[in-house]
Amino acid sequence: MIFVRRRLIFRSLFGLVVNVIHHVNVNPGLSSIYPITDTGISNLTHSEQVTRLLAGGATIIQLREKRESARTFFAEAAIAVPLGQAAGARMIINDRVDIALALKADGVHLGQTDMPVSAARALLGAEAIIGYSTHNLVQVKAALELPVDYLAFGPIFPTGSKENPDPVAGLEALGAVKALVADIPLVAIGGIRRGTLEAVFAAGADCAAIISDIISPGEKIAENFRSLLAIANNQRR
């Protein structure tokens, strides 16, 4: 019994080490705009938001649920993940590694207080996309050692979409982060709107993750996404 347990511990530790050491960044397939769902802000279910985002041309979508129970989120995501994947989009689950694993989502987005990135990598495997939120330079430096496929940094501007956001980091800090992360894709987040996209890319972001300026109002999601993507692609050219 003890032997079996030891062997299991050894195997999972070995798996973790192999995954961490051999992790080569998966191309996360980030487009310049990374939409994130929110049922409270859009007044729509996750799958309704996904349908509209796909109509607007989204190729990667993060499902984020901070209010509902795991069971409700699971039930919603069980519809939204295959819907997005059938249309060729990469579907990322916020926080919940278990839900991502159960639904064969394309990856997870983890925050500073979620399951450690290395443990998520060991569970999800080398092919999964793992994104990680950072809010200051100390966290960014620590994240450089982790098996992540992209780093998010924010909030760049004040945001009303997150409860207890970290202090506003600003564009200058975003530039400093870009200098640190080298070739890890950098996702700027927090209060980004069409009028500030240019400044965000000029500061060094590879991608802008956005909630409210895309999904509010719910009826305009496809239109909002399409126009933000056009602006971003034009500016990055």
Distance CA 80, CA 86 (A): 10
Give the CA angle between residues 187, 193, 195 to the nearest 5°: 115
Please indicate whether residue 162 is annotated as part of the active site: yes
DSSP code per residue over the chain: -HHHHHHHHHHHHHHHHHHHHT---------SEEEB--HHHHSS-HHHHHHHHHHTT-SEEEE--SSS-HHHHHHHHHHHHHHHHHTT-EEEEES-HHHHHHTT-SEEEE-TTSS-HHHHHHHH-TTSEEEEEE-SHHHHHHHTTS--SEEEE--SS--SSSSSPPPP-HHHHHHHHHHHHTTS-EEEESS--GGGHHHHHHTT-SEEEESHHHHSSGGGHHHHHHHHHHHHHHHH-
| Residue (122 or 203) nearer to ligand 3NM, CB | 203
| Catalytic, out of 162, 193, 220, 226 | 162
| Residue (84 or 191) nearer to ligand 3NM, CB | 191
Site string for ligand 3NM, 31-60 (x = CB under 6 A): ------------------------------
| Catalytic, out of 42, 52, 64, 121 | 64
Total residues interacting with ligand 3NM, rule: CB under 6 A: 17
Least gap, CB of 11 to ligand 3NM (angstroms):
34
| Catalytic, out of 32, 133, 161, 212 | 133
Binding window for ligand 3NM (CB under 6 A); candidates: 26-34, 118-126, 149-157, 219-227: 149-157
| Residue (58 or 122) nearer to ligand 3NM, CB | 58
Q: Please, what is the end-to-end C-alpha distance for the chain in angstroms? A: 61
User: Does 166 participate in binding ligand 3NM (rule CB under 6 A)?
Assistant: yes
| Residue (28 or 191) nearer to ligand 3NM, CB | 191
| Residue (15 or 111) nearer to ligand 3NM, CB | 111
User: Does 159 participate in binding ligand 3NM (rule CB under 6 A)?
Assistant: yes
Please indicate whether residue 104 is annotated as part of the active site: no
Contact yes or no for 124/107 (Cβ under 8 A): yes
Binding window for ligand 3NM (CB under 6 A); candidates: 4-12, 47-55, 161-169, 198-206: 161-169
User: Does 210 participate in binding ligand 3NM (rule CB under 6 A)?
Assistant: yes
Active site residues: 64, 133, 162
User: Which residues of this protein are in contact with ligand 3NM, per CB under 6 A?
Assistant: 133, 135, 152, 154-155, 159, 161-162, 165-166, 189-192, 210-212
